[in-house]
Every structure is written in C-alpha cells, then in structure tokens.
Structure 1
C-alpha cells in the first residue's frame, strides 16, 4: 500500500502494519473530535512516525497513485478535521 504524507513523500507500507496504524488513527480522530490540541499534536506525530517507521520510501521518480493520503506534520486540527471521513484517515 502506498501512503502519502503531504509535503513529504510516499511510503510503501505493508498491509500487516494497518492494524497498528488504525489504532494511531483512532487516537488522532478522538483528539480532533475532542478539540484537544495537545493530544492532537501528539497523535499526529505518532501516526506519521508510525508510517515512516514501518514504511519504506517510495521512489520519488515514480508516478504511482497513493492509496492513502495523510496530512503534513504541521497540519492544524481544523485541516485534519476536513480530511477525516467515517473511518478516520485510514479506512478499516
């Protein structure tokens, strides 16, 4: 699965990592719903770090479409709120 972090690049993430990333996504979604900026900042960092840790950088010269798009590290709570859907940022 190809995951794009906006403003940073794409990562090849194994399907086996989606369970843990979904847990991090749920924490982020809860922080957004609560309007808790401190928890939001921490949760966004953990989610993006999770992708960077389990994923391998996708070749920059590749034109492959991303399966998932995540906000940049400096996104605001309002920007992430606009990106959320019924399943959070990561379906499942």
Structure 2
C-alpha cells in the first residue's frame, strides 16, 4: 500500500501493518471527538512516526497512486477533521 503524508511524500507500507496503525487512528479519532488537543498532537505524531518506521520512503520523483493520505505533522485538529471519514484516517 502507498501512503502519502501531506508535505512529506510517499511511503510504501505492507498491509500487515494496518491493524497497528488502526489502533493509533482510533485513539486519534477519540481525542478529536473529545477536543483533546495535546492528546491529538501526541497521537498524530505517533501515527506518522509509525508509518515512517514501518514503511519504505519512496523517491521524491515517484508519483504512485496513494491508497491513504495522512495529514502533515503540523496539521491542526480542524484540518484533520476535514480529512476524516467515519472510520477515521485509516479505513478498517
């Protein structure tokens, strides 16, 4: 799966990592619903760090179709709300 992190580029990630990422995504969604700004920032950072840790960064000149689009590390709570589906940032 190809994941785009806005402002950072693309990362190739195995589908086997989705359950681990979904746990962080669920936590992020709950923090957003509760208006927990510090928790939101901490979990967004953890989610993006995990994507970079588990994935393989693609070259900047690579333009693969992205299956997931994640916000930039400095995205606001309001900006992330606009990206959300009913399942959060990561479907499933």
TM-score, L = length of structure 2: 0.97
How far the C-alpha of 1:61 sits from its partner, in A, is 1.6
Q: Secondary structure at the match of 1:4?
A: strand
Answer yes or no: is 1:22 the counterpart of 2:19.
no
Partner secondary structure for residue 40 of structure 2: helix
Q: CA deviation at 1:62?
A: 1.6
Alpha-carbon shift at residue 88 of structure 1 (Å): 0.3
Q: In structure 2, what is the Cα distance between the partners aligned to 1:90 and 1:46?
A: 14
CA–CA distance in structure 2, aligned partners of residues 90 and 38 of structure 1 = 21
Give the paired residue count.
92
CA distance in 2, matches of 1:58, 1:65: 12
What is the rounded CA distance, in whole Å, between the counterparts of 2:63 and 2:81 in structure 1? Answer: 28
In the TM superposition, residue 56 of structure 1 has moved relative to its aligned partner by 0.3
Structure 1 stretches of 4+ with a deviation exceeding 3 A read: none
Give the Cα separation in 2 of the matches to 1:60 and 1:71.
17
The within-5 A match list for 1:54-65 is: 54-65=54-65
Q: Whole-Å Cα distance in 2 between the matches of residues 46 and 57 of structure 1?
A: 17
CA distance in structure 1 between the partners assigned to 2:54 and 2:62 by the alignment: 20
Residue aligned with 1:82, SS: helix
Any unmatched runs of 5+ in structure 1? Answer: none
